[in-house]
Structures are given as C-alpha cells and as structure tokens.
C-alpha cells in the first residue's frame, strides 16, 4: 500500500526523543525557572501595540519541540503499513479531533479571562497527544489480540 505524507519508520524514535525533550523543557521552565529566557528582539520585530519586542524563548522553544516531536512521532510509518493501520490512523485522528473540540466547547462555558488563554495554549497540543495515545493503544490492543490467536 502506498502511503503519502508519512515519515520513515526510523523517524519514530527521533520524534519520541524530541517530544520528551519538549515535555521536560516545558516542565522544568514552567515549574522551576520562571520566564528564564526572555530575549529582546525589538531590533528585528519592531515595536507595536501588542509587541514590546521581548520574546519568551522558553515558550517558543517548548512549543517548537512539542509540535515537531509530536508531528514526527504521530506521522511516522509503522514497520508494516497496511490498510488496517491506515484505518486505525483515521479512526484515531477522528477521535482526537472530536475530543479536542469537545474539551474546547466545555472550556468556552467554564473558563473565563486570561485562564482561557492557557486553555487555548494547551488546546494546540491536545489533538496530537490524543491521537498518539489512541493510535498506539489501538496498535497495542490489536497486537495482543493477534498474539492470543496464535
């Protein structure tokens, strides 16, 4: 089966390492080092009403690592990439999108003010994380089922 837009299987471990590094960097900087890497980029960005020229590089680094690692991990081929795996991918992606928007819908009615900005930040990663968890859970479940049959 020809699969388009998937990374090679060997990229899976690279994606996992980058994702775990992003989680570690985010956890350490958010809990122990408050806004440690603030860089003045006013010479590059200019100054406007919303932008004071200062960029929180910890947030930028953490988001970049989480997005890059998550995308590489989620969209790397399996050792055997067949129609069943493609069906699991589609099913997992649908579940992830539905759950993501259900959580966002609930948050619209329950979270207000600047806390809603935090919800939106976490919402950026929810689809990827739910997809990765569900897809790998279904793969694990199907491998257990296959081993019982043998």
Domain ranges of the chain: 1-78, 82-150
Rg (C-alpha) for the chain, rounded Å, is 19
Alpha-carbon span 143 to 108, nearest angstrom: 39
Residue 40's pLDDT is 59
How many whole angstroms from its chain centre is CA 62? 11
Comparison of pLDDT for 36 and 101, the residue scoring more? 101
Q: What is the pTM of this model?
A: 0.82
Least confident of 17-31, 84-98, 128-142: 17-31
The yes-or-no verdict on residue 101 having pLDDT over 70 is yes
- Please give the mean pLDDT across all residues of the chain: 85
- 55 by DSSP, 3-state: which? strand
pLDDT category at 1 given cuts 50, 70, 90 is low
């Amino acid at each position: 089966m020809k699969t388009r837009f998937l990374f090679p299987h060997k990229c899976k471990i690279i994606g996992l390492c980058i994702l775990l590094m992003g989680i570690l960097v985010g956890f350490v900087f958010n809990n122990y080092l408050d806004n440690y890497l603030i860089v003045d980029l006013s010479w590059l960005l200019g100054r406007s009403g919303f932008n004071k020229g200062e960029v929180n590089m910890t947030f930028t680094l953490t988001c970049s690592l989480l997005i890059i690692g998550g995308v590489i991990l989620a969209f790397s081929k399996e050792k055997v990439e067949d129609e069943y795996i493609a069906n699991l991918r589609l099913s997992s992606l649908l579940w992830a999108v539905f759950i993501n928007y259900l959580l966002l819908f609930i948050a619209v009615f329950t979270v207000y003010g600047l806390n809603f900005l935090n919800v939106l930040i976490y919402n950026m990663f929810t689809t990827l994380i739910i997809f990765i968890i569900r897809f790998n859970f279904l793969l694990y479940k199907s491998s257990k089922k296959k081993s019982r049959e043998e």
